[in-house]
Structure 1
């Protein structure tokens, strides 16, 4: 009898253990937008610049212009040229962080509160200020400045930690896309506005918060600061041409033809960046070749695509702008076979090298 009782208890142990264990937590479903309670204005501002433990995951393909999220709704596929934040107004402020401050102004690469402090009083900072912003679809979005950190390489340039009000989730979020190498991206304040086509408009009273992982900020860090001059020439045009180059926006329509962190070499005739002649980490000039020449509104001359797609695809994308023909020889040995129909290739401000797509093996008897 004892043997049968022991055997019965042994068989019942797994059942008893499962019965005593707490039930597994069910995954929490994301609430639809209609079920999210609207937050009052006072509570909304009180919650700005608070650390958020979780952020929505987005995986935009290709190189970004603003470096911002395309949409707050992560369950819907967003258009490549969309953004939750494309511009912000310097005045009037939605919320000032100090008494008497009514607006902000740009001084080179940093924001300054306006009007300035009188007498010996220290000038008020901009951290805590809330600006009125605009998304790519024209809808308003509030932007809070949560921190200001001068660049280690250039103290005159200030990186800002920003948050935008996500009305869909009723919470503040960093609008910048996080990548592995920059998991908590900041933003630069740059004058003017970039539209969906990638064109820059020098709009008075408006600025762009350009995130670290976007082309606007990358080009500034590479040396093309649009508010500065080099050898007496404004760098604004070179910066704009760089945003096209960085994204391989051949047609000048805002569409990229590259991937994140694709190796390239940039050089210009002004002396800001020179063509690399020696191999360095992640770059071997012996394996690279001339890709394209660039103007502020796109490529003027193309030798090969950066992502390996057929040149015919680019020609079909903008048939009235680019055409194939006889080879065009540029200075320095650069050579291309597709060119703009309305400008001379040699008038480009920038050029670049890239690895390009692996070449197909040549057929027997065709030569090198």
Structure 2
């Protein structure tokens, strides 16, 4: 009998131990299912009350390449989505879904959102957004952090309502160097081809790891000017260059964190002449010249693929058979048929195949 009691006691101890190990830590969120039935919809009141709560950082394991918006391609983590798709491409500033009682709309001034009427707070506002497939998505502004480098810029912490998981989530893709990305409010809307259009009352929340924000960080602020010239077209050309979008169709031909050297016709950024930890001028060579709608000419691809593959991707866009010298040892082997290479706003150099 004693032996039987000891065995029962040992079994109970093992069961309680297993249950304790399986239970989530106190205060932690329960693991969410990968998919939620479409019939399980969180009511409006509960949905809005859950916005802007502290969350664990969501990471994407699949390589994303160089992104335009810096956002996730799809809420469905089991789906392989096209690089030209996004869970969020624009937001509407009029008629917020939720805001302070007296806030009726928001207005963009440079890169700063202002509540209308004035004196309101934009934090906590829920705006109506749109995904690349045209579906609506709600976007909550959870924080506003003025840029210490430029007081005209404000970094926003945003969340979007994930209809698959039925919860608020940062739509920006997290990378190791920026694990909790913020977003800039940028005038205009970029479509799947990477083209920007002015749409009254709408803007783009451009995430930190995307090309739109990278180009602003490099100095090409589309709301600003340099030497009396607007930087909007230079910024747009930069988004093409950052992603190696030669054809101007929204397709990238590079890898994340690929090192390049860039320089523009306004002299804002000059060609690197000295060796640094990230760049060796002696190993780099001219890659392409850039206009707002893509490359005007190119010499080699950034990711090492054959130049012929680009010519096939956008047939009749480039011609070959002659060399065009742009100066500074920048020579094109493929030129646009409709735009002169010397009309480019931006040029870049990169390491060719095998030159590392």
Tell whether the structures are fold-level matches, with TM greater than 0.5: yes
Alignment-derived partner of residue 356 in structure 1? 352
Q: Deviations over 1:21-80 (max 9, x none)?
A: 544749978353217731111111111000113525343431000000000000111111
Secondary structure in 1 matching 2:58: coil
1:166 and 2:158 correspond: no
1:112 and 2:114 correspond: yes
Q: Aligned-pair distance for 1:323?
A: 2.4
Are 2:245 and 2:295, in contact at CA under 8 Å, matched by a contact in 1? Answer: yes
1:282 and 2:248 correspond: no
Alignment-derived partner of residue 83 in structure 1? 86
CA 1:215 to 1:54, structure 2 compared with 1: closer, same or farther past 3 Å? Answer: closer
1:183 and 2:179 correspond: yes
Q: Aligned-pair distance for 1:166?
A: 0.5
Distance 1:19 1:356 in 2: 64
49-58 vs 72-81, which deviates more? 49-58
The correspondence for 1:202, drawn from 198, 206, 220, is: 198
Q: How many residues align?
A: 340
Superposition RMSD in Å: 2.1
Are 1:95 and 1:130, in contact at CA under 8 Å, matched by a contact in 2? Answer: yes
Alignment-derived partner of residue 291 in structure 2? 295
CA 1:210 to 1:31, structure 2 compared with 1: closer, same or farther past 3 Å? Answer: closer
Ranges of 4+ aligned residues in structure 1 off by more than 6 Å: 16-19, 26-29
CA 1:333 to 1:35, structure 2 compared with 1: closer, same or farther past 3 Å? Answer: closer
Question: How do 1:1-368 and structure 2 match up within 5 A?
Answer: 20=14, 22-23=17-18, 25=22, 30=33, 32-34=35-37, 37-53=40-56, 55=58, 57-96=60-99, 98-116=100-118, 123-358=119-354
Normalised TM-score (structure 2): 0.91
CA 1:240 to 1:42, structure 2 compared with 1: closer, same or farther past 3 Å? Answer: same
Alignment-derived partner of residue 4 in structure 2? none
Normalised TM-score (structure 1): 0.88
Q: Deviations over 1:91-132 (max 9, x none)?
A: 011111x2321111111111111122xxxxxx2221111100
Which blocks of at least 5 consecutive residues in structure 1 are unaligned? 1-12, 117-122, 360-368
Secondary structure in 1 matching 2:282: helix
CA 1:137 to 1:149, structure 2 compared with 1: closer, same or farther past 3 Å? Answer: same
Distance 1:358 1:315 in 2: 22
CA 1:94 to 1:276, structure 2 compared with 1: closer, same or farther past 3 Å? Answer: same
Secondary structure in 2 matching 1:34: coil
